[in-house]
Chains A and B, each alone.
Chain A
Amino acid sequence: MKPLAANIFAIKRYALHDGPNIRTTIFFKGCPLACWWCHNPEGIDFHSKVLFLAEKCVGCGECVGHCPEKALGLTSKGVFRDDDKCTSCATCVQICPALAHEATGRSMSIAEIITEIKKELPFFDQSGGGITCSGGEPLSQPESLLALLQACGKLGIHRAVDTSGFAPVETLLEVARHCELFLYDVKHMDSPTHERFTGVANDLILANLKALGDDGHAIRVRIPLIVGVNDDGKNIHATGAFIADCKGVQGIDILPYHPSAIAKYRKLGEIYKGASLTVPTKAHLAGVAEILKKYVVDVNIGG
């Protein structure tokens, strides 16, 4: 039997802003949402592909000869890829001395991921940190996620799941039995607006947040603050009121929008819908925090 695997696009050690203390974040590939401001666009697509970064290529042509699908060719302008032939096998990624071929994700067995995680055990033990499963949307790979969380549980590692909340409630509650903390995004209280900017309605997400709290789980709500999308007083009040009404929420982290992902979109050859959005000012952030503090005691700016 093939060992259980997860489709992963990055593992970050010493991830400082994905939960308490020193953590390793595992980024699951694929997300049912497509938020305009997403800063991990390489995590949206469920399928991995191989990108070619022309500025890194030194024109040695080694990848061309090694490509099992004959999908690569070399001209005076450099290497080109025939996307119809490419099966994203990533042979060229292994070969290229200049790191000009880059895979947007890879399949890793749970054992492989655990090997990476275990390298950080001394830091988890010393600081009280652990792992954060993020993405993409980790709940979209429920089997692998559960297997990973269970394996970490056996090792006594603190587990956090960073989620959009967009998943069947049964999946969410099952996962909740195997983690200590949720980092749970709340993006907008108005469902049509939510759908416009993220691609899905918010009813399932909000209902799931309630269900999670009712089931007795610990949650930190994260609000990506996007000027002109969800930062108006009405929405912030509504968000605060809703969260205050949910059980289990320990606090709120406001994550100010940042245009940092623009380079990633360019690399992927995709359009960044969030490119025109503006960064909230410090004063604005403080104002939003003040409103939210009326509803929840612990409000923090930043992850």
Chain B
Amino acid sequence: MNDRIDKLRTESFEAQPTISIERALLETSFYKENSGKHSLPVLRAMCFLHLCTYKTIHIGEGELLVGERGPRPKVVPTFPELTCHSAEDLRILNTRAMASYRVADADIRRYEEEVIPYWQGRSMRDRIFSSIPSEWCIAYEAGLFTEFMEQRAPGHTALDGTIYTMGMVDFKARIADRIRRLDFNNDPAASDKAEQLRAMAITCDAAIVFASRHADLAETMAAAEKDALRQEELRRIAAICRRVPAEKPRTMHEALQMYWFVHLGTITELNGWDAMTPGHIDQHLLPFYEKDLADGILDREKAKELISCLWIKVNNHTAPPKVGVTAKESGTYNDFTQINLGGLNTAGADACNEVSYICLEVSDELHLLQPQPSVHISCKTPDRFLKAATKVIRKGYGYPSVFNTDAVVMEQVRVGKSVEDAREGGTSGCIETGAFGKEAYILTGYLNVPKILEVTLNNGVDQLTGKMVTIATGDPATFKNFDELYQAFIRQLEYVVDLKIRVNNYIERMYAKYSPAPFLSVVIHDCIEKGRDYYDGGPRYNTNYIQCCGIGTTTDSLSAIKTHVFDGGTVSMDALLSALKNNFQGAEALRLRLWNKTPFFGNDDDRADAIMQKIYESLFTAIDGKPNTKGTIYHLNMLSTTCHVYFGKMLGASANGRFACLPESDGTSPSHGADRNGPTAVIKSLSKMDQLKSGGTLLNQRFLPSVLTTDQDLDKLAGLIRTYFTLGGHHIQFNVVDTKTLRTAQEHPDEYRNLLVRVAGYSDYFVDLDREHQEEIISRTEQELA
């Protein structure tokens, strides 16, 4: 990386996340003045225009791409119209140990005086909670599920290539054409559509205003700049900001700035989950890269520098601060912009190109928190691309994550998308599948599946609090066989899912009516043609996902009950339930029997894997096909992000031998320490899950750096990945761990039982080694690092 990038990277890395109340103040004064004067879409659009016109703008020293959501890098606005932080929330954010945000005392006072009084009772969160049924609140507080939309707007959006072929002026023309074609005589929705379309046109102007202000600032700065080179750069920046986003980009520099303005617009308008994602940026940039090379205005190094600038811009944008349960389950600065590399083009050919490799290199060199790249591997992807990805994987950043393009396409075709749109699609956030630029695929919240088993075993009562939190499905001591228990589990599952969906659908309408996103609607097909908002069924495809957590913990717990209570009869249901209630106090032998003598998921053991399949099918039946409010349906997603830690805290001791309040299994990974037969056995177990019926699964694997030293090691890793994908896997990612983790592994060996280490001429499990041997490995690892 060159000096410019090094400097920008360091600044971005070191800046402390800080809260700015500017957006809240601008918005509050705008609403005080204008609320009630316009339709809601137009009000939202004018508010966006107001923000774009008056917010503080910033061009940093040495920057080539410009624009920040806040007044400076890593300064985060609040969105009081969605969630109005209390003064107490702001103070906690300022002082808490993890993921804190600086907030000035004067700002807190001003927030108390000007912002909070207006939004109290008016924010989406206040309005949603004021009309939610009590049974939902009881289940929510017990940790049976989370709700994504209670404080951030629905998001997880990615773009296709449209913005590289159309500027805002072209979008406005398309909008005007659509308004002309409205049929006020025969279409009862025509007036609503007209308002929505008018709002979209206003946001196009807002984006142009925002860019023009940057052009003005760049020109002013150029006039005062002593350094001739920088002066020239500032003039170029000004020219680019005059061009995009009004007109379509012509060069790679313009294309990147175009994307960045659109990205900023969508995350300024609202704070949608997972920010914004450019989609297949390597494919989008390729024509500009090739043309610029041919024109002699760019070389590979310069392209790399520009892409680095975009990466740093993304890293500057810390996630908006959360509150309450959402802060507990997602306490990260990461806002989850995911960069998809490789994959297929819409015609179905391999799409890896030189820009894909440049993007990988940039991610490797910058190794920042954001954005996180993923590589998309189809059966057509060349091995050299996968190999290049494994070389970054072994650096131990935890990325790139690896996706199976062929599965991602089939998942989408299964639910009715065209094959071309499916290929243009990919994954955003963590592992969520969607048709980029054409779909609202909304994550609605996580489902705590092990907790559903827990309430089943307690006849609807929360094991931790003793409160009735769901419905009565029978005293488990009266269940004569495993099937009776399982039927009760299904009834509890259906109750909880239906409760969640009932409230999701209500919140969904709230967003459609009161919090439209007209700017986002401009750039997502077919919102303009339908004259409908992104949140109101405007996109070509509309999907709701419920993300199911803890299938490993649930499978292992049911397997333990089946093995020891019903099949073996060696443990009575009463004895088991009392041990669980007492968190295994005085029952260590029983706990160890459950933990060591039960077939567990992740070992390629059909006894456990068949239970996993049964649970997966039940989840699918409970969720897939349930109607949302947009005329489409819910689908299943198998993802936990970091929620398995929060859900684990809300979960008593479980029948797989897990102590109360420890994390449950993550994503679709086996329970921590349950997989004892190596990564190939894990992959075989996972392959028994019919993953194509989901909107994504997540598999974490942990390796030591010394297992990935030679070229042959990387080939074997690539072989592992290819095999998983041949067997229908959706996603896999690797942690390549360091000494610190090994130290923790020594303290908590049960959670690290799947950690592979190179011993001598073979690899073995770290925790199966004795202390001295572990020490020896640790010293060896350090030597290798040195």
Chain A interface residues (CB < 8 Å from chain B): 12-18, 20-22, 25, 39, 58, 60, 62, 97-99, 119-120, 122-123, 125-129, 255, 258-263, 266-267, 302-303
Q: Judge whether B772 is part of the interface by a CB distance below 8 angstroms.
A: yes
A97 touches B596 (CB 8 A): yes
Q: Judge whether B589 is part of the interface by a CB distance below 8 angstroms.
A: yes
By a CB distance below 8 angstroms, the chain A residues around B760 are 39, 255, 258, 260-261
Q: Smallest CB-CB separation from A60: which chain B residue?
A: B589
A225 to B637, CA, bound (A): 52
User: What are 21 inter-chain pairs, A to B, with CB distance below 8 A?
Assistant: A13-B680, A14-B678, A14-B763, A15-B763, A18-B761, A21-B715, A21-B719, A22-B719, A22-B723, A39-B759, A39-B760, A60-B589, A99-B592, A119-B680, A119-B684, A122-B684, A127-B715, A127-B723, A260-B759, A261-B760, A263-B772
A120 touches B761 (CB 8 A): no
By a CB distance below 8 angstroms, the chain A residues around B590 are 97
A126 to B759, CA, bound (A): 26
Q: Judge whether B681 is part of the interface by a CB distance below 8 angstroms.
A: yes
B681 touches A22 (CB 8 A): no
A18 to B761, CA, bound (A): 7
By a CB distance below 8 angstroms, the chain A residues around B604 are 119
By a CB distance below 8 angstroms, the chain A residues around B758 are 16-17
B589 touches A14 (CB 8 A): no
By a CB distance below 8 angstroms, the chain A residues around B328 are none
Q: Judge whether B588 is part of the interface by a CB distance below 8 angstroms.
A: yes
Q: Could you say which of A98, A119, A263 contacts B681, with CB atoms under 8 Å apart?
A: A119
B762 touches A21 (CB 8 A): no
A261 to B586, CA, bound (A): 36
Beyond the given pairs A18-B762, A260-B773, 17 more chain A to chain B contacts, judged by CB atoms under 8 angstroms and listed by A's residue number, are A13-B677, A14-B679, A22-B719, A60-B588, A97-B596, A98-B592, A99-B592, A119-B684, A122-B727, A123-B719, A127-B715, A127-B723, A255-B760, A258-B759, A258-B760, A260-B769, A302-B761
A41 to B758, CA, bound (A): 18
By a CB distance below 8 angstroms, the chain B residues around A128 are 719
A123 touches B723 (CB 8 A): yes
Q: Smallest CB-CB separation from A12: which chain B residue?
A: B762
A58 touches B716 (CB 8 A): no
Q: Smallest CB-CB separation from B760: which chain A residue?
A: A258
Q: Smallest CB-CB separation from A56: which chain B residue?
A: B592
B678 touches A13 (CB 8 A): yes
Encode B582-602 as 1/0 by CB contact (under 8 A) with A: 000000111011011100000
- Given known A-B contacts A126-B723, A263-B769, A21 and B716 have beta carbons under 8 A apart: yes
A122 touches B723 (CB 8 A): yes
A58 touches B589 (CB 8 A): yes
Q: Judge whether B690 is part of the interface by a CB distance below 8 angstroms.
A: no
A62 to B100, CA, bound (A): 51
A58 to B680, CA, bound (A): 32
Per DSSP, are chain B's interface residues mostly helix, strand or loop, or mixed? helix
- Given known A-B contacts A255-B761, A260-B760, A22 and B592 have beta carbons under 8 A apart: no
Q: Could you say which of B588, B720, B756, B762 contacts A123, with CB atoms under 8 Å apart?
A: B720
A302 touches B710 (CB 8 A): yes
Encode B724-735 as 1/0 by CB contact (under 8 A) with A: 001100000000
Q: Judge whether B747 is part of the interface by a CB distance below 8 angstroms.
A: no
Encode B711-748 as 1/0 by CB contact (under 8 A) with A: 01101100110110011000000000000000000000
A17 to B713, CA, bound (A): 9
B592 touches A262 (CB 8 A): no
Q: Could you say which of B597, B681, B713, B723 contacts A16, with CB atoms under 8 Å apart?
A: B713
A97 touches B726 (CB 8 A): no
A58 to B588, CA, bound (A): 8
A141 to B595, CA, bound (A): 35
By a CB distance below 8 angstroms, the chain B residues around A126 are 719, 722-723, 726
By a CB distance below 8 angstroms, the chain B residues around A129 are 719
Q: Smallest CB-CB separation from A94: which chain B residue?
A: B597
A168 to B255, CA, bound (A): 72
By a CB distance below 8 angstroms, the chain A residues around B593 are 97
B681 touches A127 (CB 8 A): no
Q: Smallest CB-CB separation from B722: which chain A residue?
A: A126
A17 touches B761 (CB 8 A): yes
The range of chain B's interface size is 35 or more
Q: Judge whether B187 is part of the interface by a CB distance below 8 angstroms.
A: no
Q: Judge whether B770 is part of the interface by a CB distance below 8 angstroms.
A: yes
For residue B528, give the distance in angstroms from its CB to the closest CB of chain A: 45
Instruction: Select the residue from A15, A16, A62, A255 with max chain B CB neighbours within 10 A.
Output: A16
Q: Smallest CB-CB separation from A256: which chain B residue?
A: B760
A62 touches B773 (CB 8 A): no
By a CB distance below 8 angstroms, the chain B residues around A123 are 680, 719-720, 723
Q: Smallest CB-CB separation from B771: which chain A residue?
A: A263
Q: Judge whether B192 is part of the interface by a CB distance below 8 angstroms.
A: no
By a CB distance below 8 angstroms, the chain A residues around B773 are 260, 262-263
Q: Judge whether B707 is part of the interface by a CB distance below 8 angstroms.
A: yes
B680 touches A22 (CB 8 A): yes
By a CB distance below 8 angstroms, the chain B residues around A25 are 762
For residue A247, give the distance in angstroms from its CB to the closest CB of chain B: 25
Q: Smallest CB-CB separation from B725: which chain A residue?
A: A126
A17 touches B589 (CB 8 A): no
Q: Judge whether B776 is part of the interface by a CB distance below 8 angstroms.
A: yes
Q: Could you say which of B596, B684, B761, B763 contacts A39, with CB atoms under 8 Å apart?
A: B761
For residue A7, give the distance in angstroms from its CB to the closest CB of chain B: 20
Q: Closest 5 A-B residue pairs measured CB to CB?
A: A127-B719, A97-B593, A60-B589, A97-B592, A263-B770
B596 touches A262 (CB 8 A): no
User: Which residues of chain B from 375 to 408 have a CB within 8 Å of any chain A CB?
Assistant: none
B592 touches A16 (CB 8 A): no
A303 touches B761 (CB 8 A): yes
By a CB distance below 8 angstroms, the chain A residues around B727 are 122
A17 to B760, CA, bound (A): 9
- Given known A-B contacts A13-B680, A119-B684, A62 and B589 have beta carbons under 8 A apart: yes
Q: Smallest CB-CB separation from A302: which chain B residue?
A: B710
B720 touches A303 (CB 8 A): no
Encode B109-148 as 1/0 by CB contact (under 8 A) with A: 0000000000000000000000000000000000000000
A260 to B681, CA, bound (A): 25
Q: Could you say which of B716, B759, B762, B769 contacts A127, with CB atoms under 8 Å apart?
A: B716
A62 to B589, CA, bound (A): 9
A98 to B588, CA, bound (A): 9
For residue B301, give the distance in angstroms from its CB to the closest CB of chain A: 34
By a CB distance below 8 angstroms, the chain B residues around A125 are 723
Q: Smallest CB-CB separation from A23: which chain B residue?
A: B716
For residue A27, give the distance in angstroms from its CB to the closest CB of chain B: 10
B679 touches A262 (CB 8 A): no
- Given known A-B contacts A13-B680, A16-B716, A39-B760, A58 and B722 have beta carbons under 8 A apart: no
For residue A8, give the distance in angstroms from its CB to the closest CB of chain B: 15
By a CB distance below 8 angstroms, the chain B residues around A16 are 707, 713, 716, 758, 762-763
A108 to B635, CA, bound (A): 45
A262 to B773, CA, bound (A): 8
For residue B435, give the distance in angstroms from its CB to the closest CB of chain A: 29
Instruction: Select the residue from A18, A20, A120, A126 with max chain B CB neighbours within 10 A.
Output: A126
By a CB distance below 8 angstroms, the chain B residues around A120 are 680
A262 to B710, CA, bound (A): 26
By a CB distance below 8 angstroms, the chain A residues around B719 are 21-22, 123, 126-129
A273 to B720, CA, bound (A): 38
Q: Could you say which of A22, A98, A99 contacts B716, with CB atoms under 8 Å apart?
A: A22
By a CB distance below 8 angstroms, the chain B residues around A18 are 761-762
